Amino acid sequence: MQTKRLGNSDLDITPIGVGAWAMGGPGYRFSWGDQDDSDSIAAIHRALDLGINWIDTAAVYGLGHSEEVVAKALHGMADRPYVFTKCERVWDENREISKCLKRESIRREIEASLGRLKMDCVDLYQIHWAEPEDDLEEGWSTLVELKSEGKVRHIGVCNFNVSHLKRAQAIAPITSLQPPYSLLRRGIEEEILPYALGQGIGVIGYSPMASGLLTGTMTAERAAGLAENDWRSRSDDFKEPKLSKHLALSVKLAEVASRHGRTAGEAAIAWTLRHPAVTGSIVGIRRPDQIEGLIGAMTFRLSNEETAEVEAVL
């Protein structure tokens, strides 16, 4: 299976990885609604059977539940995939989420994550957001300590801009950056991706299908019927006037992909993987059937002409 080295690490990752955000289930502000844990576990197993070798989760996904689901899926595996998780988003007894990069908080977080994941060491530990910004150096220094202590193998960041990256690099090298990247979110192309490429920082983009908008299965009716506890029901991207434009792009992706026997989702993911700075793309799944229509992105790539054709819709 084709793999690519992630930044300065010894991790050779497949072009796509399993995103476990939605697997966290309901009960917090950024939920994707009710989920079936058995479906989530089956989805992970199917993805691994098809060759994917990494899973990305976070403590805040389901307020710990996503990590627990990942642990159940990997229980008893002799040859497990790489597991990536995150710190910085914390919650209280009322399930209210806050931001913290203080040393003692992060140390509590890693112990809690290792407990939920039933692991002694995480393959990649990431700062979820550079918030509060004033504590960035304290937070990154703490990840450096955790790596030296053997609690995490490699350390990275998510949602950092170039200024944030430079501040962290002044303390220790960054293995990876995890930003949002899709045809609908291209803001990182101008400055962040060139900087990461030049610095040897691996990039694993999230939401390549724009949270379902570019899968080819989203419709206006489905968007209107999203559950109240699904964060997308409150997003302007899933409402007019934006929705029609997004769905038109999805139609074009489906048209181009169909020439190769592929899906719109595979084309959307392939578009992100065309960029030389991008090491891998995080693909969110909740059921085993979903990965079947996306696994082709492991090898499928758009031609330059097809890329231009798709981008012309924008």
The residues annotated with a catalytic role in the active site are 61
**Cβ–Cβ under 8 Å, residues 297 and 280:** no
Cα gap 92→233, rounded to integer Å? 25
Cα gap 17→8, rounded to integer Å? 18
Entry field: residues in the chain: 314
Residue 175, phi then psi, degrees to nearest 5: -75, -45
Exposed e or buried b for every residue in 10-30, given b needs 16+ CB within 10 A? ebebbbbbbbbbbbbbeebee
- Residues with Cβ within 8 Å of 115's Cβ and at least 6 positions away in sequence, in order, are none
Angle between helices 242-258 and 264-273 (to 10 degrees): 90
Q: Kindly report the number of other CB atoms within 10 A of residue 9's CB atom.
A: 19
C-alpha pair distances (Å), 52 with each of 71, 130, 179, 249: 17, 29, 20, 27
**Cβ–Cβ under 8 Å, residues 55 and 20:** yes
What is the DSSP code (8-state) at residue 301?
-
Closest CA to 260 of 310, 208, 302: 302
**Cβ–Cβ under 8 Å, residues 176 and 160:** no
Strand partners, 114: none
Cα gap 119→127, rounded to integer Å? 19
